[in-house]
Amino acid sequence: MLDRRKFLIATGSTLVSTSLPAARSRTAPLGGETLVAAVQACEAASGGRLGVAILDTATGARFAHRGDERFPMCSTFKLPLAAAILREVDRGRTSLGHKVPVSARDILDHSPFSETRVGGTASLGELCEATMTNSDNAAANLLLPVIGGPAGLTRFARALGDKMTRFDRYEPDLGTCTPGDPRDTTTPLATLALLDRILLGSVLSGSSRTRLTQWMIDNQTGDRRLRAGLPAAWRVGDKTGTGGHGTTNDIAILWPPKRPPLLITSYLTGSPLSTADSEAIHARLARSVARAGESAFRSARSHS
């Protein structure tokens, strides 16, 4: 798991590194000083506070900028929510076919799937898919009680070893992103560890991991964020989040060609930019990560 791996961390302008295990010692660390400078440039251009964490699963190299600082999650919380539902399914406590009633009072702004089911029902599988692929807010609120509400989702995170991430409210309140408010926040490194455990670990059954990953690949809300900065040959699955006080986020799994994936968490808050321009910051970050990754991959091949 991620917390047992050696790592490379950049926090602010400080770079600290530890040696990789002997079997990996010839592999260039991901990005090094070049990536540090690129991330700092992205943050400066944003006018806000940018938190980034990256794991190269092929080598165990890890990079972070403001990795231990708190950031509002916004709708990125929907990924661990869907994972928690899938774990309940794996344990036989519910099923994806279980029906949930949908009423007019459940509908919130940006609930494109749920509003089509008012007066009827939706299955847990349908609600999870809508939550992950369209960031349907009403669907997320309908799912939360299944796992004990925000407190239950926090317990899920704690059970996976995450002592930082906290889930406190329902939509739309969790998207207020008031500076200094610890509610509904995480750190880039905490969510990176969650991604590692959920997507690549044994938290979920193989079929549930595949289902969750496919929902990320099918996401329709991230085309202007990390996805926009990646080479065409790279595959990507992600979950976005957007909220008040200049907050735009994206967390993702990236597959370079013929190579194990990278995991990345990217949180931006306090930016005066428009949403479109903030999204471009995430795309710019992804371009820098791809360049750093491809450079490290070439170095690894030359030493193999």
Q: At 302, is the pLDDT very low, low, confident or very high (cuts 50, 70, 90)?
A: low
Q: In this model, does residue 35 exceed pLDDT 90?
A: yes
Domain annotation covers residue 6: no
Domain annotation covers residue 81: yes
Domain annotation covers residue 10: no
* DSSP 3-state of 188: helix
pLDDT in tens, 94-141: 999 999 999 999 999 999 999 999 999 999 999 999 999 999 999 999
Domain annotation covers residue 4: no
Domain annotation covers residue 69: yes
pLDDT in tens, 151-187: 999 999 999 999 999 999 999 999 999 999 999 999 9
Q: At 293, is the pLDDT very low, low, confident or very high (cuts 50, 70, 90)?
A: confident
Q: Can you give the CATH number for the domain in which 197 is found?
A: 3.40.710.10
**133: Cβ contacts below 8 Å, ≥ 6 apart:** 215, 218, 219, 220, 221
Q: Which structural domain range is residue 229 located in? A: 32-299
pLDDT of residue 7: 40
Domain annotation covers residue 11: no
Domain annotation covers residue 8: no
Mean predicted confidence (pLDDT) in 257-279: 98
Domain annotation covers residue 24: no
Q: Determine whether 123 is an active site residue.
A: no
Token pair, residue 43, equals 């943050």
Helix ranges (H only) for 172-229 are 188-200, 206-217
Q: 117-126: long-range contacts (C-beta < 8 A, 24 or more apart)?
A: 123/96, 123/97, 123/98, 123/99, 124/85, 124/89, 124/94, 124/95, 124/96, 124/97, 124/98, 124/100, 125/96, 125/97
Please identify which of the residues 46, 75, 111, 288 carries the catalytic annotation: 75
For the chain, the domain total comes to 1
Mean predicted confidence (pLDDT) in 267-271: 99
pLDDT of residue 5: 37
Q: In this model, does residue 303 exceed pLDDT 70?
A: no
